[in-house]
A and B are shown apart, each in its own frame.
Chain A
Amino acid sequence: MAKNLIRKTFLEPLGKNNPVFVQILGICSTLAVTNKLQNTMVMTLGVMFTAAFSSWTISLLRNHIPSRIRMMVETMVIATFVIIVDVVLKAFYPEMWKQLGPYVGLIITNCIVMGRIEAFALQNKPMLSLIDGLSSGLGYAYVLLIIAFIRELLGTGSLWGYRILGTWWTNWSIMIMPPGGFFVLAIIIWVIRETIMKEAKHA
């Protein structure tokens, strides 16, 4: 039974309860950081780390947090983990830190992190909350990586900064600009909902 619960907690955010294409959360960063695979990778690792550990921390404290100030406490805990990510990036990966600019700090307001705390961590045990946070981050990560893959490939003809397509390829500049994010995200949501999720919708 416990094993099933863990399994369910882990798998739901990856599929039928995915934060990006089902709950449509965290769209701001989905659009902003998906024009280069490398940046996307770092950003999603940051979100996974933050979501997992802030869920865990809040869940540990859940019986002690006065409910009227719980949002303040949540924000404080999330901000702490985000600052940890930011400071570590700044010290060890300065180029990456410069490129991501304000977006690392904006993880604080990523709806997925706070959403999972409110919806899950406040009612569940720490370990389970950790898994939920981590897999919500994972569910966010893989969708973003797919989008970044498409955008970087079509927009610059490269992947991870390395040229993949030959010189015959004309870059679709619009793909790496903000509209490209909207197009690819919308198409992905549409395709997934119409194909893989069709049964779930009718059920």
Chain B
Amino acid sequence: MKAKETFYHERIYPLVFMFAITFFCILITSGLYLTTRNRAVANELSFTRKAILEAANVPYENTAEGIGQAYLENIKVEDGYYIATNSEGDRFIIPVQGPGLWGMITIMAGFEKDLETFSGVAIVSQNETPGLGARIEEPWFTAQFKGKKAPFTLVEEGTSLFDNEVDSITGASRTSEYFRNLANRASQDAKRIIGGGK
């Protein structure tokens, strides 16, 4: 009798208890996940659209509605790239993905109609070191590609002069290199994918 009770307390009860707790916790979290999923998906879409607008250098109001409106008015989706209609001529935006230091970096790269001059760069996702490599998300870093032409050379932070030079991030040389490679590749891709089709 006693052995049986110990067996129950030592083996069965903890197992059942853990099972019940896990069940409840999963019930709560998945319920919450499902109820907010639509919102999360909408946010994700809005974020991608914002990156496209940013790369195309199209002005927009920074709200969910503002982004949606500016996107629908200005952006046309093509096979593998986007076109932003503009009074000075069309701009072309392509998504590019490449390795970073820790994971993949995905960016939207925008080009003027010559397919060489960058109209902007925006980051869709990255997993670089917070505080170091992740500083590629800072506006000054992405903004410096605007109006410049690949292939790029990296120089020390705050010293770029010519339109093929970009500042690297102090303390994040490797991430800067990966990002430069990505921007250079974006330029090649633009010529191949968009230019080649003409």
Contacts and interface: CB of A to CB of B under 8 A. Distances in A.
Contacts, number: 64
Nearest to A82: B29
Contacts of B21: 73, 76-77
B18 A90 contact: no
Interface residues of B, number: 25
Given A32-B130, A177-B131, A177-B171, A83 B17 contact: no
Interface in B12-42: 13-14, 17-18, 21-22, 25, 28-29, 32-33, 36, 39-40
B193 interface: no
Interface residues on A, range: 20 to 34
B25 to A, nearest CB: 4
Nearest to A65: B17
Q: Report whether over half of chain A's contact residues are helix, strand or loop; otherwise say mixed.
A: helix
A80 B14 contact: no
Contacts of B39: 91-92
Interface of A: 32, 35, 64-66, 68-69, 72-73, 76-77, 79-80, 83-84, 87-88, 90-92, 94, 98, 101-103, 173, 176-178
Interface of B: 9, 13-14, 17-18, 21-22, 25, 28-29, 32-33, 36, 39-40, 43-44, 46-47, 130-132, 134, 170-171
